[in-house]
Amino acid sequence: MTVLERGRTFLFSAFSLTVHVPFIVMACQSYGEVGTNSSPAAKRTREEVEKLIAKAGKERPDWWEAVPLQYPKTLDLSWPKPPPGWNPRKHIRHYMFSIINENPSRWKMGTKFMHHVLSVNEENPVRWQAMEALGLCYYDLLRDWARAAFWWRESGTSNINHLVGMANCYWQLGSKKMAMEQLRKIQVDYTRYGSAIKLWSEMDELQEGLRLSGVSAADGEPSGPLMGAGDACRWHDRFEQAKGYYQKVMSLSAGKKKGIRERNSGRAKAALQHMALFETLDLKRIPDGTYAGSSLAYTGQLAVAVTVREGKITSIRVTRHRERQYFTALKDTPRKILLKQGLKGIDATSGATLTSEAVIHATAKALAGALR
73-110 pLDDT per residue, tens:
999 999 888 778 899 999 999 999 889 988 889 999 99
Per-residue model confidence (pLDDT) at position 286: 92
Greater model confidence, 113 or 357: 113
Per-residue model confidence (pLDDT) at position 349: 56
What are the phi and psi torsion angles at 303 (to 5°)? -120, 145
Of 183, 213, 247, which residue sits at a domain end?
183
pLDDT digits (tens, 9 = 90+) for 323-351: 766 667 788 889 989 998 988 777 665 55
Average pLDDT of the segment spanning 277-303: 86
Per-residue model confidence (pLDDT) at position 32: 33
Query: Would you say residue 149 has pLDDT above 90?
Result: yes
Of 128, 161, 183, which residue sits at a domain end?
183
Residues 337 and 210 in one domain: no
* The total number of residues written for the chain in this structure: 372
d(CA 70, CA 67): 9
Per-residue model confidence (pLDDT) at position 3: 33
3-state secondary structure of 340: helix
Average pLDDT of the segment spanning 205-211: 96
CB proximity list for 310: less than 8 A, separation 6 or greater: 288
Residues 246 and 174 in one domain: no
Residues 149 and 214 in one domain: no
d(CA 180, CA 171): 8
**CA-closest candidate to residue 337, choices 304, 369, 360, 368:** 360
Q: pTM above 0.85? A: no
Contact 326, 353 (CB under 8 A): no
pLDDT digits (tens, 9 = 90+) for 270-283: 888 877 777 778 88
Per-residue model confidence (pLDDT) at position 11: 36
Per-residue model confidence (pLDDT) at position 76: 93
pLDDT digits (tens, 9 = 90+) for 157-198: 888 888 999 999 999 999 999 999 999 999 999 888 888 998
Average pLDDT of the segment spanning 253-277: 81
Number of domains in the chain: 3
> What are the angstrom distances between the C-alpha of 275 and each of 104, 107, 138, 231, 352?
33, 36, 35, 11, 20
Per-residue model confidence (pLDDT) at position 277: 75
Per-residue model confidence (pLDDT) at position 300: 81
CB proximity list for 237: less than 8 A, separation 6 or greater: 279, 344, 345
Greater model confidence, 362 or 7: 362
- In DSSP terms, 290 is beta-bridged to 307
Average pLDDT of the segment spanning 239-253: 93
Mean pLDDT value across the chain: 83
Domain of residue 307, residue span: 281-370
Per-residue model confidence (pLDDT) at position 223: 93
Residues 114 and 201 in one domain: no
Residues 8 and 119 in one domain: yes
The region of weakest confidence among 99-103, 130-134, 238-242 is: 99-103
Per-residue model confidence (pLDDT) at position 80: 85
Q: Is residue 290 in some structural domain?
A: yes
Residues 216 and 260 in one domain: yes
Average pLDDT of the segment spanning 18-37: 32
Residues 8 and 153 in one domain: yes
Residues 163 and 232 in one domain: no
d(CA 103, CA 105): 5
Kindly indicate the confidence band of residue 41, based on its pLDDT and cuts at 50, 70 and 90.
low
Contact 85, 98 (CB under 8 A): no
**CA-closest candidate to residue 292, choices 367, 232, 358, 352:** 367
Q: Is residue 302 in some structural domain?
A: yes
pLDDT digits (tens, 9 = 90+) for 137-147: 999 889 899 99
Average pLDDT of the segment spanning 250-268: 83
Please give the share of the chain, as a percent, with pLDDT higher than 70.
85
Per-residue model confidence (pLDDT) at position 126: 82
d(CA 302, CA 369): 16
The enclosing domain of 286 has a CATH number of 3.90.1010.20
Kindly indicate the confidence band of residue 6, based on its pLDDT and cuts at 50, 70 and 90.
very low
